[in-house]
Copies of this chain bind each other. A is one copy, B any other.
């Protein structure tokens, strides 16, 4: 398993008149979680795009347990439960400062060649970095 955490502070813009963080902002927080998780590997999603591969999302599911509020310092935990091949499934969990689980999201992304717009396998550079975390059976 590969796992990484990062922190984000809720912006005023992200609240709505319910005083909660708008439910549609969490996918953006998950994106930050993924970007920082990949950066932890010594690589960046930006570099991946520079190599001509982009990662559109094909599926997402979220369960919301508790709201986040303005100025909360949130912790985003982003994990891969298995080594990706042609799809990547990120498990995201967001916690508040009391360490309460606010929501849980599973986001599935694929790899697309940005020239042909066809799906491809995970680039070798990313496979190498990730396989260390899933090496038992290998």
* A interface, CB within 8 angstroms of B: 9, 11-13, 15-20, 22-28, 31-32, 35, 44-46, 49, 54, 56-64, 67, 70-71
Contact = CB atoms under 8 A, between A and B. Distances in A.
Contacts of A16: 12-13, 15-17
B56 A64 contact: yes
Contacts of A19: 17
Contacts of A13: 16, 22, 24-25, 28, 31
Contacts of A56: 18, 20, 23, 64, 67
Nearest to A114: B18
Contacts of A32: 9, 11
Contacts of A31: 11-13, 24
Contacts of A58: 63-64
A67 to B, nearest CB: 7
Contact of A23 (B57, B62, B67): B57
Contact of A27 (B17, B18, B24, B46): B24
B67 A63 contact: no
A22 B12 contact: yes
- Count chain B CB atoms within 10 A of each CB in A27, A45, A67 and give the residue with the most: A27
A106 to B, nearest CB: 9
Given A17-B16, A56-B18, A56-B67, A11 B23 contact: no
